[in-house]
A and B are shown apart, each in its own frame.
Chain A
Amino acid sequence: MDTDIAALTVIFTEFYYWITVALMFLIHVGFCMYEVGASRVKNHMHTLMKNSMLIPLVTITWFLFGWWIYWAFAGGPGITGGIGHPAPEFAEAYTPWGESMGPRLDDRISGVFWAAFLLFSWTAASIVSGAVIERIRKFGFWMIAILIGSVTWSIDAAWGWSYSGWMVELLGYHDAYASGVIHAIAGGTALGVLVVLGPRLGKFAADGTPRDIRPHNPWLVCIGLFMIYTGFWGFYVACNVPILTTGFIDGQMTGATQTATTIYLTPTTLSAITVNFLMSLAGGMLAGYMVSRGDAFWTYSGGLAGIITASAGNDLYHPIQAFIIGGIGTFLMYKMHFWVERRFKVDDAVGAVAVHGYAGFWGVVIAGFVLWGHPSSPYEGFAAITPWGQFIGAVIMFWVLGFIPAWILAKILNGAGLLRIPKEVEILGLDFGSIQEANAASREVMATEQAHAS
């Protein structure tokens, strides 16, 4: 920071990421409102704590190994390079004992960049949390939260959401605002857990017909979704690098123009993603309202699914394209949710697999067609965007890094009796003991008051 312009650029970038972190906190406020609203009164506080405590657990594990994985696994390892490819000094610096992990005056960016990624990690884990409410053990869920929050999403980001990831280099994988790398993997993870965990008691009739377990507070659920929209702004903005000179991108581009870029260092603008965020939200809400016949929950979820579907290419789409793609994704995820529920008896309590998993998956695939041939990277030798590269990428996100590791871990936890709560506790409610204690105390207080009144 030896010139005024260099200092301003660094401080602007530092503050930019800091703002995204503060905004992304709202995603988690929204998830907590949404999940608690969707649960029954007998399970409120357990539901709240199950989600909230993923925050410290994913944070410490992200510090201990998640962040290092991101910097170490871009080449596979063993696909396009070894551990730390192509810059082993970064992987070394981001070990928990590394030189860039503590406060230092000559590095003002690493900390806020670490934090922005961490908030993505919370989001990935939090998506899974809603699907499994009212019957999962906290320990079991938190193991799964750490798996996705600090391991599998970190691997997928290294592979497909990095300027040097092997999926970008070989497949031309493009997923600028994380349709696949956050949402598809989270949906796949949720599905992998759900098939082992099983439905809530009473969710399906003896003949397999699904029953509606109504949210105790639909209003809270919808406001929670509204809050997630708000936090999503931080998520989007954090996916960009706010300002780079073309010289920084290893001289791959000519001239001295400054630009915002995606995580792949491909140029875009904050204006572009702002318009497309709103247009895909609009497409999703309109489609959600139509396909669900005006149901509030699915209309709000449709807005989210619209953004998620268009996110893979929202750095480049025309706003009308973002609008249409958002609508298509919402229609598909809604239909798939109810088909999977009926066909496979999967009890996804909040539609997380659909809104995040199916919409994210199709968003990655659709980008392959709409952006066919566009360069995925400024670097020479990287593959261009193609439908087949995106399809393979979507499968890797949803199935390979999402469903399969989660299914295996859920099986292990289930085998150890650490996945599902005891049946009696599920019937009485996870908060039964504390509610009884509170009621007893309340009765004693009233009895005392009555004694004083008489």
Chain B
Amino acid sequence: MSTTPVDTWAVDLADVTLIYPFVGAEVLMTIVGFALWIGWHIWQVKFESNTYKEDIEKHATSENLRKATSGEF
């Protein structure tokens, strides 16, 4: 019993092809990969927008903007 197609290495290697686990689940793994990729972007775009919003609320005071534009930082 093995999660890979290989049960033993006592074989002629010329007969061995795939060696990764869960052969046959490639389409499912691709769907999971797509979902994780898209999900990351959805999280990231919200995270980035919230970060800018918080930064502006917290730091973009007229005093800070004045200092930034006059080279005081």
B56 interfacial contact with A, CB 8 Å? yes
Is A104 in contact with B17, judged by CB distance below 8 angstroms? yes
- Distance in angstroms between the alpha carbons of A138 and B69 in the assembled complex: 24
B-chain residues with CB within 8 Å of residue A61 when the two chains form the complex = 37
- Distance in angstroms between the alpha carbons of A346 and B16 in the assembled complex: 57
B-chain residues with CB within 8 Å of residue A433 when the two chains form the complex = 51, 54-55, 58-59
Q: Contact mask A122-149 → B, CB, 8 Å, 1/0?
A: 0000000000000001110010000000
B-chain residues with CB within 8 Å of residue A250 when the two chains form the complex = none
Shortest distance from the beta carbon of A167 to any chain B beta carbon, whole Å:
30
With A42-B73, A102-B26, A139-B45 given, is the CB distance from A428 to B59 under 8 Å?
yes
A453 interfacial contact with B, CB 8 Å? no
Is A425 in contact with B52, judged by CB distance below 8 angstroms? yes
A103 interfacial contact with B, CB 8 Å? yes
Is A428 in contact with B64, judged by CB distance below 8 angstroms? yes
Q: For chains A and B in complex, what number of residue pairs have CB atoms within 8 angstroms?
A: 83
With A64-B30, A105-B19, A428-B59 given, is the CB distance from A422 to B52 under 8 Å?
yes
A2 interfacial contact with B, CB 8 Å? yes
Q: Which of A64, A102, A138, A429 contacts B37 (CB 8 A)?
A: A64
B48 interfacial contact with A, CB 8 Å? yes
B-chain residues with CB within 8 Å of residue A138 when the two chains form the complex = 44, 48
A: which residues have CB within 8 A of B? 2, 42, 57, 60-61, 63-64, 96-99, 101-106, 137-139, 142, 418, 421-422, 424-425, 427-429, 432-433, 436
B-chain residues with CB within 8 Å of residue A96 when the two chains form the complex = 26, 30, 33
Closest to A432 in B: B59
Known: A97-B29, A105-B16, A139-B45. 9 other contacts (CB 8 A): A101-B26, A105-B17, A106-B14, A139-B44, A142-B44, A424-B60, A428-B73, A432-B68, A433-B51
With A42-B73, A105-B19, A418-B45 given, is the CB distance from A427 to B27 under 8 Å?
no
Within B40-65, the residues touching A (CB, 8 Å) are 41, 44-45, 48, 51-52, 54-56, 58-60, 64-65
B: which residues have CB within 8 A of A? 13-14, 16-20, 23, 26-27, 29-30, 33-34, 36-37, 41, 44-45, 48, 51-52, 54-56, 58-60, 64-65, 68-69, 73
Is B14 in contact with A2, judged by CB distance below 8 angstroms? yes
Shortest distance from the beta carbon of A138 to any chain B beta carbon, whole Å:
6
Question: Can you spell out 15 A-B residue pairs with CB atoms less than 8 angstroms apart?
Answer: A42-B68, A60-B37, A64-B30, A96-B26, A97-B27, A104-B18, A105-B16, A142-B41, A418-B45, A424-B60, A425-B52, A428-B73, A432-B64, A433-B51, A433-B54
A-chain residues with CB within 8 Å of residue B48 when the two chains form the complex = 137-139
Is B65 in contact with A427, judged by CB distance below 8 angstroms? yes
Is A428 in contact with B60, judged by CB distance below 8 angstroms? yes
Is B45 in contact with A428, judged by CB distance below 8 angstroms? no
Q: Which of B20, B30, B41, B55 contacts A428 (CB 8 A)?
A: B55
A-chain residues with CB within 8 Å of residue B23 when the two chains form the complex = 102
- Distance in angstroms between the alpha carbons of A42 and B45 in the assembled complex: 22
With A97-B27, A138-B48 given, is the CB distance from A64 to B56 under 8 Å?
no
Shortest distance from the beta carbon of B45 to any chain A beta carbon, whole Å:
5
A-chain residues with CB within 8 Å of residue B30 when the two chains form the complex = 64, 96-97
Shortest distance from the beta carbon of A325 to any chain B beta carbon, whole Å:
41
- Distance in angstroms between the alpha carbons of A63 and B36 in the assembled complex: 13
Closest to B13 in A: A105
Is B17 in contact with A106, judged by CB distance below 8 angstroms? yes
